[in-house]
Structure 1
Amino acid sequence: MLGPVVVGLDGSRESLAAADWAVREALRRGLPLRLVHAWEGGMSPDESELPELEAPRYWARRILRDAMDRLNERYPQVYLSAEQISRPAADALVAAGDEAELLVLGSRAFSGFGGFMAGSVALATVAHAARPVVLVRADHNLEDEHEPDAEGRPSAHTPYRPVVVGVDPAQSCEELLAFAFESARLRATPLRVVHTWQVPYMPQALEAKARRDVQSGAARVLDSVLGPWREKFPAVEVTELVEEGRPAQQLLHAAQDAGLLIVGRRIRPARVGMHTGPVAHAVMHHVRCPVAIVPHA
């Protein structure tokens, strides 16, 4: 049985943009949307009578209530639920995400200030989540998911922008490609699959041939990996981008006009630290479109 789409809220502009994206994704997937707010006061906001907790208790309730009202008005066809969780934010979000089809959080660039989703909590959640996590910027809106119209103006009625996924065939790709192909199918949009390669240092006389051989081999491997997925998703138009260079740089370039970028994160046995991997770390901080981080073995 599929879980809901879950979105973490903290009242920031980032988390409100994440809620808007999440409700549209829930609609695309035919799933309910669960809104979660972490109460860090040490107990349920309904249990304490301490006067000094009255203001934070009021704002905690209002964050969820305002978001519910806003989303119900815009998307009445999506079933919504809301919950306040009395746990530290990252722990609460990881636990909620474990029961979800995907978890959606607000995010912003590496520098600057914002709600707790913009910094360490988002990073810790991504590093420890067992399900895909999507990060959404504060300025992202419905029109950003779609191509501009014929006059180059933002539009919510044009086709969706492409989905981009970064693939390393040397790693497990099943979860990553399943999420990518399904995301492209739901949007009826092309899927760009990016695989990078590099030539090790060698004498200049041998470099040109080595470059051709490495590129050709990388293309063959990627085509072999994608073969079963093309058969499973025949309606998805796939473009293979086999590029020389560093993965993060090539993904940043490929995602400039994308509606969604998807990267993998290897699951580590120890739930200590905030290890997301260099590629995921780079795109989380520098890509403007929503970024999905998919954990894999």
Structure 2
Amino acid sequence: MVRPIGFLVGLGFVGVLLWSLLWGAIAYVSEPPAPTAEHAFHKHPKHEVAFSFTGPFGKFDQGQLQRGFKVYKEVCAACHSLRLVSFRDLQNIGFTEGQVKTIASEWAIETPSINPETGEPATRKSIPADRFPSPFANEVAARAANAGALPPDLSLMTKARHDGTNYVYSLLTGYVDQKGYKNEKGEELLKAFPDAKTGEGLHFNPYFANLNLAMAPPLTGNDQVTFDDGTKSTVPQMAQDVAAFLTWTAEPKLENRHSVGLGVIIFLLFFTVLTWMAYQNIWRDKKGH
């Protein structure tokens, strides 16, 4: 008796599910959702920059990573943390041990600590073993300093966003004037969606999900950062370099992964050839039977 009842209950659940799916499909076809400004005017990341680390044989350009770190240090670090990266990790992008010690000790934000005599919270100069300290004491302080918006941690940003490297580059170079902005179809944003006007304290950027950012354009002009290797620091160059640096923070073992992947492919090809030769040798005398 229990089995028939259980079968009927399950059948009822399936029927309700199928009915809801059918009704939802009918409603979607008969009354499709109204288009939104985000859907009609959001842009996909640009692909105008060829990064050295893309592709199966890609490798990081250490000079570019060092330039990108300098952009992060002088432009981004005032608001954005890098909490999953240690100062000593910078040795992996070409900085010497002495340079890393200097960078850590001279970092603008000191590392949180405890006063050994009083037990009270304190700060101290950073050492290479420390991770990059957050520019804010906590989330409340971060929001208070940024008009209620919380600056995200950048350690894994290029992994957290689709096409992350190009997304970061596009976002940093994508600030435009909203007035008169048109999409690829030639439609003007504020004529199609008058209510989509960017509010006070926000900044229009078609590469951001909802088109409006609390962050003002961080890269404001050429020569904002002086690169040690003499590279001209234009806005696209700075955006490209910091996008590469943030790709490294998210995937510091990318080159090793590429090397291992290449080795695995070679092994599988070699193993496939050996297997085929063994098959031919074993069954050579038995094909006629």
Q: Report the structure number with the largest CA radius of gyration.
A: 2
TM-score by length of 2: 0.23
TM-score by length of 1: 0.23
State the structure with bigger RCO (CA 8 A, min sep 6), 1 or 2. Answer: 2
